[in-house]
Structure 1
Amino acid sequence: MARINLLPWRAERRKQRQRDFYGMLGAAAVGGVLLTGLIWFYYSNQITGQHARNDFLTQKIAEVKKQNEEIDRLDTQRDRLLARKAVIEELQAKRSQMVHLFDSLVRTIPDGVVLTGIKQEGDVLTLSGRTQSNARVSTYMRNLEGSGWMKSPELTIIEAKAQENAQGSAVVDVKALPYMFELKVNLPNPSSEEIDAQRLEEAGMVEETAAAAAQTVNDASDAAAEPAAVAPAPDKAAPAADAAQPAAAPATTGADS
Structure 2
Amino acid sequence: MSIEINLLPWRAAQRETRSRRFLVGVGLAALLGIAGGLGLTQFYQHALDAQHQRNQYIETRMQRLEQDIAAIREYQTLRERMLTQIELIRELQFSRPQTVRVFNQLVTSLQEGVYYDELSRNKDQLRFAGRADTNRQVSDQLRAIAASEVFAIPLLSEVQAEDDGTRKRFGMSVDEILPSATSEQYAKEDRP
**174, 188, 196: which one aligns with 2:185:** 196
Q: Could you tell me the TM-score, scaled by structure 2's length?
A: 0.84
Q: Could you tell me the TM-score, scaled by structure 1's length?
A: 0.65
Counterpart CA distance in 1 for 2:85 and 2:131 is 41
* 1:62, distance to aligned residue in structure 2 (A): 2.4
Q: Is the 8 A contact 2:125 2:174 kept in 1?
A: yes
> Runs of 5+ in structure 2 lacking a partner?
none
Q: Is the 8 A contact 1:89 1:195 kept in 2?
A: no
> Runs of 5+ in structure 1 lacking a partner?
165-175, 209-257
Residue in structure 2 matched with residue 47 of structure 1 by the alignment: 48
Residue in structure 2 matched with residue 180 of structure 1 by the alignment: 169
1:106-125 mapped onto 2 (5 Å cutoff): 106-125=107-126
Residue in structure 1 matched with residue 13 of structure 2 by the alignment: 12
* 1:198, distance to aligned residue in structure 2 (A): 4.8
Pairwise CA RMSD: 2.4
SS at match of 2:111: coil
Query: What code does the residue aligned with 1:71 have?
Result: I
Q: Is the 8 A contact 1:125 1:185 kept in 2?
A: yes
SS at match of 1:64: helix
Q: Is the 8 A contact 2:132 2:138 kept in 1?
A: yes
Identity of aligned residues (%): 27
Residue in structure 1 matched with residue 85 of structure 2 by the alignment: 84
Cα separation, partners in 2 of 1:3 and 1:117, compared to 1, 3 Å: farther
Structure 1 residue runs of 4+, over 6 Å off? none
Structure with higher RCO (Cα < 8 A, 6+ apart)? 2
Query: What code does the residue aligned with 2:181 have?
Result: S
* 1:97, distance to aligned residue in structure 2 (A): 1.0
Q: Could you say which structure has the larger radius of gyration?
A: 1
* 1:15, distance to aligned residue in structure 2 (A): 1.5
